[in-house]
Amino acid sequence: MPLDDSESPTYAPTHAPTEPSPATAGRSALVASGTGDHLPVGPEAVAAEVGTAETYRERAYAAATLRAYRADWRHFVAYCAVRGASPLPADPLVVRTYLAVSADREGRKVATLQRRLAAIAYHHREAGHVLAQDDAALKATWRGIRRTHSVAPVEKAAAVTETVCAMVDALPPTLAGVRNRALILIGFAGAFRRAELVALDVADLYWQTDGVRITVRSSKTDQEGAGRLKDLPFARHPEHCPVRALQEWLERAAIDAGPVFRPLSKAERVLPRRLTDQWVALAIKRAVVPVAERQAARAWHRLSHAARARHDQAVWEAAFVAKVVRQHAGHSLRAGFVTSAAAAGARLDEIMDQTGHARVDTVMRYVRNARSLRASAAAKLGL
């Protein structure tokens, strides 16, 4: 029974939960309930059928979501173990205390805590329990954490057209450079999420006389896999054309089937597996370094003589570059597409058709960033 604020937690024994998994329980039920007349298959066949069902069940969530849920669950179980608490089923008092400790002592962000709470609820459902998220004290604690610790999300810098061109211009003419050029230009012009980018297969590309049509088979906003199409035409400038860059990569790497973007060995041998989405963020960070170095040199010379006298130039420029690199990640290409397209006069529906955004307010954040200060309503006040 849930405890109220006046009671101290009565923790359950520290042994780990022993409930059978849904797959084990279901398999036992199928074998036990059948007879020779009604279920003319053996345990091995039933196990295979249950395994198939389990495969589909696991696909209900993105792989990245499941990885995060498993890590969060291990963290919660460890918290309970050292306090003699039962993680499954968990008392709402234990859950809200865990969230409070994670917020105060660990300094976790609200978004992280929200995911951890979702992970706890997920593992309860998987074991046939229900986490009492409607518990009044748990709801009040969670609301208090959000009110106290909520901050505006830190958005990554938008890699606009000028930045993207500078990034690819600085890439080396190696096979890795050819691949990264295609990756960056396709990611930018197609407004791809990094997970969508690395999931592309050659079969998803439909070459046309004026460009390429790319099928995105599933995405963050298309969990059912209905699929979306993205059209990329040939660009005016060949050195910055995403379609030509993609063609060159596939030809140089001799890829005619399977994953489009793949890792390379140290000897630049193309490996058969696909890149990870984390690698996309790393590639963007590396590509923006020479761009940031040029920006740092210009910014140093814009400083006053007094400011330059207070700093060592090499140290100051290195800190400037590090800050720029931190501000860029996998999302920078997608954000840069929206910002650049809006600045060039593209309509909102045209932008959303390419990005696949489901919410107008999300896109409008980037559209506002594309407006100059002179376009602000504040500039029209006559002050």
Q: Which of 355, 316, 347 is nearest to 196 (CA)?
A: 355
Measured CA to CA, the distance from residue 8 to residue 139 in angstroms comes to 18
Task: Find where tokens 């390429």 sit.
Answer: 212
Count CA atoms within 13 Å of residue 42 on its CB side: 1
Can you spell out the DSSP letters for 164-176?
Answer: HHHHHHTS-SSHH
DSSP code at position 231: E
Measured CA to CA, the distance from residue 180 to residue 287 in angstroms comes to 8
Measured CA to CA, the distance from residue 333 to residue 218 in angstroms comes to 19
Is-contact 300 254, C-beta < 8 A?
no
Burial of 143 (C-beta count, 10 Å sphere; 0-12/13-18/19+): exposed
Q: What is the pTM of this model?
A: 0.66
Can you spell out the DSSP letters for 298-313?
Answer: HHHHHS-HHHHHTS-H
Quick one: tokens of 375?
Answer: 């376009």
Give me the pLDDT at residue 8, please: 42
Q: Which of 285, 279, 259, 281 is nearest to 271 (CA)?
A: 259
Domains annotated for the chain, with CATH where assigned, are 22-149 (1.10.150.130), 161-326 (1.10.443.10)
Give me the pLDDT at residue 218, please: 67
Is-contact 150 106, C-beta < 8 A?
no
Radius of gyration of the chain (CA): 26
Can you name the residues that pair with 201 across neighbouring β-strands? 259
Is-contact 264 270, C-beta < 8 A?
yes
Task: Find where tokens 């589909």 sit.
Answer: 56
Which CA distances in Å does 76 have to 99, 115, 122?
Answer: 10, 12, 13
Q: Which of 152, 158, 185 is nearest to 371 (CA)?
A: 158
Quick one: tokens of 96?
Answer: 């809200």
List alpha helices for 136-241, DSSP H: 136-149, 161-169, 175-189, 194-198
Give me the pLDDT at residue 151, please: 66
Cα distance between the two ends of the chain: 64
Q: Which of 120, 36, 33, 19 is nearest to 78 (CA)?
A: 120
Sorted by sequence, the CB contacts under 8 Å of residue 21 that are 6+ apart come out as: 126, 127
Other Cβ atoms less than 10 A from the Cβ of 36: the count is 7
**pLDDT averages per 10-residue partition of the chain, 383 residues:** 42 46 53 53 81 81 85 94 92 93 86 92 91 90 88 74 92 93 93 90 92 80 63 91 94 93 91 90 92 91 89 91 89 87 82 80 70 60 60
Which CA distances in Å does 271 have to 82, 153, 258?
Answer: 44, 37, 11
List alpha helices for the chain, DSSP H: 22-33, 43-58, 63-81, 92-104, 110-126, 136-149, 161-169, 175-189, 194-198, 242-253, 277-302, 305-309, 313-327, 331-343, 348-355, 360-370
